[in-house]
Structure formats: C-alpha cells, structure tokens
Amino acid sequence: MVVRPVWKYSLRAVSLVYLALLLLAPVVFIFIKTFEHGFSTAWSYMTTPAAVSAFWLSVLIAAVAVPLNTIFGVGTAMVLVRSETRGRKILDALIDIPFVVSPVIIGLALVLVYGIHGWFGSWFIDRGIPIIFNPLGMILATVFVSLPFCVREVAPVLMEVGTEQEQAAATLGASSWQTFWRVTLPSIRTGVAYGVVLTTARALGEIGAVAVVSSNVLGSTISLPLLVKYRTQVVGPGGISAAYATGVELAVMSLIVLFAMTLLAPERKDAR
Amino acid sequence: MGLSTLYLSVIVLIPVAALISVALGSGLHAFWTSFTSSLALKALWQTLALSAVVAVIGSVMGTIVAWVLVRDQFPGKRILNSIIDLPFALPTIVASLALLGLYGTSSPVGINLSLTRTIVAIALLFVTLPFAVRSVQPVLLEVDKDVEEAAASLGASNATTFRRIVLPALRPAILSGTALSFARCMGEYGSIVLLATKIPIASLVIFADVESATGSGNSAYQPAAGLSVALLVIALVVLFGLRKWGADRGR
C-alpha cells in the first residue's frame, strides 16, 4: 500500500506530536523543575537522611524480589513449556493474576493474610516476624506484583529454542543439571535478561501495593516512590521541589533500565 | 511443578483466596451492598467509563504510532521506537508528579486541568501507550505486502485496501491491546494518585476504605474486599470478552 505523501506526513506529524506531548514533555518538565535552582539544591534533596534511607529500601526490595522472581520465572517457564503435567494450563492462567489485579487490591489481599488480624499474621507476629507495615511486607507485595514478567519473557524463548540440543546433550551423557546449565540456560539468556530488566523496573517503581502494606514512616518504610507521594503532601521546603528531585532520581534509574531494554531488544528479536 | 505451585500459592493464591473469603464472609447481602452503595457504584461507573474511553483512544493512537514506526522512514525513528517503552520503565508516581506539574494549577504552559477527568485520562494514556503500540507493531511487520499490492493492482483504493486487507489482519492485535489497556486502567493507582483526588476512581476508593479499616479485624475490610472483587470481575469479563471477540473475528 503506497500511502499518498499528504497522509504519510500527517500520520507522522500526529504520532510525533502525540508522543512528544504524552511522553517527552512530562519527563523533560521534571528535569527542568529539579535543576532550576541549581544542581546542589537538587542534590541536597536527594541526600537527606529520609531520601537516602528510601533509596536503600528500594534497592533492598528490588534485590530480593528480582532474584526470587527470576529463579521462579525460569523454573516455571520450564514447567509450562517442557512438561506435560496435568494442571499446567491452570498454572499458566494463574501466573497472570498480578497483571490483572489492581496493586491496591494486592496490598489489601496481603493485609488480610499477613496482617495482625489476618489468617497467618498472628503466627508470624508471635515468632517476632511482623510482615505488614514492615519492609518485609513491602518486599512481599513487590514480589507479588512483579511475579509474571520473567515467566512471560522466558517461556516463548524456551518454546522457540526447542529440545533438540537438550536431547543431544542427554544422548552424549550429560546429566539433566548439566544440560540445564550448559545448554538450556545459555540459549535463553536474552529472554532471562529481558525478564530481569522488566522485573527490576517494576520493583523499583511499584507504589500501589507497597503503599497499602507500608506504615509510611520516613526512614523506615518509605521507598523512593512513596517518598515522592509523601513529599507532594508537604508544604514549603522539602515539599514539591524535593518531590521533583526524588522523581528525577527515579527517572534516571528508569532511563538506565530503558537503555538496557533497548540494548537487549534486537538480540531478543533474533532469539525469537 | 510442585515448587512453582507452592511459591505461587504463598505469594498469590492464598491472598486472593483471603480477599474473596472476606468479601463474601459477612454474607451475600453485605457483599451486594459493598459494591452497590452510592459511592461504590459511582466509583465503578467512573472507572469503567474512563477506562473504556482511554482504551479506545489509546488503541487508535497506538495503531497510528505503530503504523508510522513500521511503514514510515525518517531520521530518529529508532530513538522514537525505543522511547515507546518509557512508561514501562518510568515509575508511575513520577508520571503522576510530572503531569500534575505540567497540566496542574501552576502549569507553565497555561493549561490547568487539575481535578478534571482529562488529566486522569492523560495519565492513563501514558501508562497504557506501550500496550497499544507493542500489540499492533509486530503484527503489522508480518502483514503480507503482496496481498496489498494485489489489491491495489486490481484497482482497490487505499481506503478499500486498508479496510478490507490491513485492518482485518490487525484486528485481533488491536483488540488484544485494547483489552490489556482496559484491564490496566481498571486497576491503575500510581499514575493517578496525585491527579484523581476529587474523582472517585475505584483503586483510590478501595485504598481509602482500607486505610479507614486499618487496625480492626478482617471483617472491617469487607466493604473494600467486596468492591475489589466486583472490580476484578468486571475487568476479567471485559478482558476475556474482547480477546475472544478478536480471535473469533480474526478467523
């Protein structure tokens, strides 16, 4: 279909204007707002004790959620693609629950199970492991919301790779463990890497589920996204300007993630 | 298999079971009231209507963007292609903050949309953009250009070719993108939390209900749980309905 130039240029213009207004303008705007009073002001907002603690909490949450969901993701993708077990289809459908359920509802569901009056909450509290309103609950909420990314990235790659090489390895006497480490894992590594990138992005940015299970105390249960929300409610210094600075901090982290996605994307297409 | 199921159960299934159990635990009447009270009904309706509008606008714009990214050639196209994923990478609260500043009361461009549905819709269009574009783009890449050329050589106008050849091939992908966007809008919180302060969006209403029940027993969470289950059922029905429609029409 050869589109007439008038159509071609107007579609291009519409797309560019739409993307510029929707994507670029907001991001450029927070950078301008953050640095309009100089770099040192912005830096001071990013390095208050509360901001530093929020940064490390976010890092901690991602450092637990990402490896857990990566191991689960690769294992579950293997089950979904390679095994013939009954119940595989049910498992397949259930994996997507976190994509469909609102994060706030996820937080609520966790409170109902692990909160003080929840199903298992008192059992954990009696053993000195309070979950809800503690960093542990925020980690749990993040694991929940970011659970499907790795499975959904790895499963199609695994399907594409097929089993021929694995069978060859097995014929040559490799144990199933050796086959997994030396044959399967190297062939799906771009899928795994992409899954890790998406999981990390979600873990760093999650707010809805985490907000419900956080006690919102500065310096202990406020992660970077919660700090942005907190600071927008503060009037005067440490308020909206500080929120922009934290926003930029998160935006820089996400631009790194986006860059990783862009680097992996062509390789990923080849793998499929 | 066993380990996967155990992990999924502890993290996902048990909490969802608790949610449903609490929603229904105080009797069917209480469950019914939890989503038919005037505030709950208003919230469900607002969320549903806004999600539907955003999903449709997002799909139309997403399809145009996908078309440009696949069929058009211009410098900078690769950069444009990679920033489509920005909403997946950028924390939603940052989008909320940026839109509040850009189109709020102290807007530098003089567009004050604060407290309106429009600004909430813009935030939702932002977060769902990758769904709309990335569903259509790979399918458009695969569309057989020979068929289009055959149609053109047989005298079909561009409009006819698009309507009879291209659109039917894209329809399942567009509908699947619409469904994903819709489901995302129904549950969205982060990108609108700073914007929808005066508009009862379901997630925010549930959040407020949960906060006011904090400290009490599980049954105090019943209204929030009931509304959550209702919201979830609506989102699932629309999601699977749209996908099935797309698959059937695609055949």
At A267 the pLDDT is 65
| Cβ contacts of A228 on chain B, cutoff 8 Å | 91, 93-94, 97
Instruction: Give the span between the Cα atoms of A143 and B163, in whole angstroms.
Output: 44
Q: Render pLDDT for B22-36 as a digit per residue (tens, 0 to 9).
A: 989 888 888 998 888
Tokens of A146: 């970011």
Whether chain B has a CB inside 8 Å of the CB on A258: the answer is yes
For residues A218, B194, A248 and A14, what is the CA-based torsion angle, rounded to 10 degrees? 170
The answer on pLDDT for A272 being more than 60 is: no
- Among B4, B16, B85, select the one facing A79 at the smallest CB separation: B4
Give the confidence band of A59 by pLDDT, cuts at 50, 70, 90.
very high
At A268 the pLDDT is 63
SS3 content of chain A, % helix, strand, coil (to 5): 80, 0, 20
Give the confidence band of B3 by pLDDT, cuts at 50, 70, 90.
confident
- Nearest C-alpha neighbor of B98 from the set B133, B127, B78: B127
Give the confidence band of B51 by pLDDT, cuts at 50, 70, 90.
very high
Q: Render pLDDT for A188-202 as a digit per residue (tens, 0 to 9).
A: 888 898 899 999 999
The answer on pLDDT for A100 being more than 90 is: no
CB A190 within 8 A of CB A74: no
Does the beta-carbon distance from B206 to A18 stay under 8 Å? no
Fold of domain A49-271: MetI-like fold (1.10.3720)
Whether chain B has a CB inside 8 Å of the CB on A22: the answer is yes
Q: Percentage of residues in chain B with pLDDT exceeding 90?
A: 43
Answer whether 0.95 is exceeded by the pTM: no
Mean pLDDT of chain A: 88
Mean pLDDT of chain B: 88
Whether chain B has a CB inside 8 Å of the CB on A59: the answer is no
- Nearest C-alpha neighbor of B179 from the set B88, B54, B85: B54
CATH of the domain at B205: 1.10.3720.10
The answer on pLDDT for A32 being more than 70 is: yes
Domain that holds residue B137: 23-250
Q: What is the ipTM of this complex?
A: 0.89
Q: How many A×B Cβ pairs under 8 Å?
A: 254
The answer on pLDDT for A1 being more than 70 is: no
- Among A3, A147, A201, select the one facing B12 at the smallest CB separation: A147
The answer on pLDDT for B242 being more than 60 is: yes
CA gyration radius, chain A:
22
Find which of B60, B86, B236 to mutate to test the A interface (most A CBs within 10 Å of its CB): B86
Residue B53 located in a structural domain: yes
Instruction: Give the span between the Cα atoms of A214 and B74, in whole angstroms.
Output: 47
B154: DSSP letter: T
Distance between terminal CA atoms of chain A?
A: 28
Residue B211, Ramachandran bin (φ over 0: left; ψ between -120 and 50: alpha; else beta): alpha
Q: What total number of domains does chain B contain?
A: 1
Find which of B97, B127, B205 to mutate to test the A interface (most A CBs within 10 Å of its CB): B97
- Nearest C-alpha neighbor of A80 from the set A163, A147, A151, A144: A151
More confident residue, A140 or A5: A140
At A266 the pLDDT is 67
CB B188 within 8 A of CB B127: yes
Average pLDDT rounded to a whole number, residues A113-120 = 86
Does the beta-carbon distance from B207 to A3 stay under 8 Å? no
- Nearest C-alpha neighbor of A143 from the set A111, A185, A89, A103: A103
Average pLDDT rounded to a whole number, residues B61-86 = 91
Tokens of B63: 């399809």
Give the confidence band of A8 by pLDDT, cuts at 50, 70, 90.
confident
**Residues 192-221 (A) with a CB less than 8 A from some CB of B:** 198, 201, 204-208, 211-212
At A252 the pLDDT is 93
At B115 the pLDDT is 83
Give the confidence band of B249 by pLDDT, cuts at 50, 70, 90.
low
Whether chain B has a CB inside 8 Å of the CB on A257: the answer is yes
For residues A194, A198, A201 and A206, what is the CA-based torsion angle, rounded to 10 degrees? -160
**Strand runs labelled E in chain B:** none
SS3 content of chain B, % helix, strand, coil (to 5): 80, 0, 20
Instruction: Give the span between the Cα atoms of A136 and A132, in whole angstroms.
Output: 7
Q: Render pLDDT for B125-144 as a digit per residue (tens, 0 to 9).
A: 999 999 999 999 999 988 87
Instruction: Give the span between the Cα atoms of B149 and B101, in whole angstroms.
Output: 48
Q: Render pLDDT for A224-240 as a digit per residue (tens, 0 to 9).
A: 999 999 998 888 777 88
- Nearest C-alpha neighbor of A91 from the set A77, A102, A105, A103: A77
Instruction: Give the span between the Cα atoms of A128 and A140, in whole angstroms.
Output: 17
